[in-house]
Amino acid sequence: MFIVAYGPMIAYLLIVKDTVPTILGVAHGSQGGIERELIMLGTSLFIMLPLAMQRDMASLSFSSLLSVTADVILVGFVAGFAPISETVSEAGGLGEVLKNEWINSTLFIGLGILSTAMACQHSAFIVSGSLENKTQRRWSRVTGLSISLAAILCAILGTCGYLGFLENTEGDVLNNFPPGTVEANGARALLAITMFFTYPMESFVARHVCVAIFHNGDLDGTDCPGEGEERGGYLCMNRRQTWTVGLYILALIPALIVDDLGPVLSITGSVGGSCIAYIAPGLVYLGVNGDGFLSKVNDWLQNYNIKKGNRASQDGGADGDVELPVAGDAAQVMSTGNELPVAGQSLQMIPAPTGSKPLWYYIGGFPIWCGIASTGQLNMRNRLSTPAPISARDSSLDSQEFDHSDSSGELPQNDVSTPSSGDFAIAIFFIIFGTVAMVAGVASNVYVRFLP
C-alpha cells in the first residue's frame, strides 16, 4: 500500500514541476534551471500540503469533483488536438502501426504505468469510510461508476496520445505539445489542478499505513501524554500533521532530483501495483478461503487415489466413502452426505494434503497454494477468536460500519457464496500473473534505462 501511494506522490510533484513552469513561461518540460524546482516547492507547499493535512478524506469531496472535471476536459483536449492522422499517415497507416508497435520491449513498462493508474485497492477502505449512508449497494455503485469512468478515460488518453506521437511519446504526454499555444497551456493548467487535488488522497493512504505500522492505528496520539483530542507529534504539531509533513518531505526530495516521470510510474506500478492489484488479492482470497481450498484439494487427491486403487487413502471406507471429522471433535467422523455440524460448534481446521500425490499436484504448484491456504486458515482462525481493539476515537476507516441492508431495510439472504474451483483458479492466475508482471516490469526498466 505504501509503495502504491508513495510512488504517485512523487509522480504528482514531478508533473507539477513539468507543467506549472511551462504555463508561466519559465521552462518547458524537463528543460530549465532551478526555477522549476522552486515553483514546484512553492506550489506544493502552499496548495498540496494544506489539503493533505485534513483528517478525513470526505473533506476533499469538492476538490475531488474539480479534479475529475479537469481530467475529463484534459482527455478531450488530448483526443482533439493530438496529430493522430498526420502521425499515422507518416508511419504507413494504422495497419502498419499495429503491425510494428503492437508489442515491444516496453510492454511491461506500460503495464506497470497502467497498474499505477488503475490500482485503487490501497485507498478503497479510506474512501469507503468517508461515505455517508454506507450501504453495500451504494459502495458498489461508487466503485463501479468510478472505475468504469477511469478505464474509459485511460483508454482514450492512452490510445490518442500514443497514436499522436508514437515512439516519441513522453511520460507526460503534454510535453509533446508546443509550449506557446493557448490550448496546450490550458491543458497543462487542468493537469496541474488535477495533481494539486489528487496528491492529498495518496498522502492519506501513505499516512494511514505509517500510523498503522508505527502507532497501531492511533492517529490521534491517545497513547501520548498531554491534553487535547490530537497529540503525539513534534515541533508544535500533532501526530497527524507530523506524519503528513514528514511524508511530504520524503516525496519532495526525489522529486527535486528526478526529472523523468516514466520510470517513477513504471517501477511503482511494476512493484507496488502488481502486488496490490494482482498478487495480494489472490493471496488474500486463498488465505481467507483456505479451508475451502484445502477441502477441494483433499477431495481431488482422494478421488485420484480411489481411482488408482489406493485403499490406504480411503481410511477403510468399503464403498469408497471418505469419513470426515465432526466439527469440534476430531475423534468422531461424519459421512460426506448432507449432515452438518451442530450450531455453535466450531469447525476443525482442515489439514494440508498428505500421502501419495500425482504429478499434476507438483506441476500445478499445489504445494505452494496449499501452504498459503494453510497459513491463511490458521491466521483467520486466530483473528476471529481475538476481539478487535476499540480506540478512544475511531478513525475515518472504522468509525462506521457498512449497512448491508437493501432499500427495504432487510438483510440479504444469500450474501455469502461458497468459492468454486473456478474462483480459486482465478486467484492463482492473479498471483502468477502479478509475479510475472512485477519481475518483467523491473527487468524491462533496467534493460531500457541501462542497456543499449
Residue 118: predicted pLDDT: 75
User: What three-state secondary structure class fits 92?
Assistant: coil
Amino acid of residue 202: E
Residue 314: predicted pLDDT: 46
| CB contact set of 361 (below 8 Å; sequence gap of 6+) | 301, 353, 367
CA distances from 364 to 66, 69, 238, 282, 310 (A): 49, 47, 51, 16, 22
Residue 244: predicted pLDDT: 94
Residue carrying the nine cell digits 476481539: 387
- pLDDT of residue 336 exceeding 50, the answer is no
pLDDT band at 293; cut points 50, 70, 90: very high
Cα gap 215→401, rounded to integer Å: 22
Residue 63: predicted pLDDT: 85
pLDDT band at 228; cut points 50, 70, 90: low
Q: Are 152 and 71 in contact (CB under 8 A)?
A: no
Least-confidence region, from 35-44, 135-144, 321-330? 321-330
Alpha helices in 276-365 (DSSP H): 280-288, 290-307, 359-363
Least-confidence region, from 5-14, 363-372, 398-407? 398-407
Cα gap 201→199, rounded to integer Å: 6
Average pLDDT score over residue span 233-249:
89
Q: Which residue has the higher pLDDT, 34 or 266?
A: 34
Average pLDDT score over residue span 86-102:
86
Residue 337: predicted pLDDT: 39
Q: What's the whole-number average pLDDT of the chain? A: 79
Q: What percent of the chain has pLDDT over 90?
A: 27
CA angle 396, 400, 405 (to 5 degrees): 140
Residue 132: predicted pLDDT: 78
Cα gap 126→208, rounded to integer Å: 9
Residue carrying the nine cell digits 488465505: 287
Q: Are 447 and 105 in contact (CB under 8 A)?
A: yes
Average pLDDT score over residue span 388-411:
47
**Over the stretch 3-17, which tens digit does the pLDDT of each residue have?**
888 888 998 999 899
**Over the stretch 264-290, which tens digit does the pLDDT of each residue have?**
777 887 888 888 888 989 999 999 999
CA distances from 173 to 78, 269, 431 (A): 8, 18, 32
Cell of 284: 488474500
| CB contact set of 168 (below 8 Å; sequence gap of 6+) | 176
CA distances from 452 to 57, 136, 171, 317, 444 (A): 45, 52, 20, 66, 12
- Our CA dihedral for 350, 352, 355, 356, rounded to 10 degrees, sits at 120
Amino acid of residue 259: D
> pTM for this structure?
0.70
CA distances from 331 to 298, 334, 340 (A): 19, 10, 16
Amino acid of residue 367: P
User: What three-state secondary structure class fits 403?
Assistant: strand
Q: Are 55 and 393 in contact (CB under 8 A)?
A: no
Q: Are 171 and 260 in contact (CB under 8 A)?
A: yes
Closest alpha carbon to 162 in 93, 263, 270, 88: 88
Cα gap 345→287, rounded to integer Å: 22
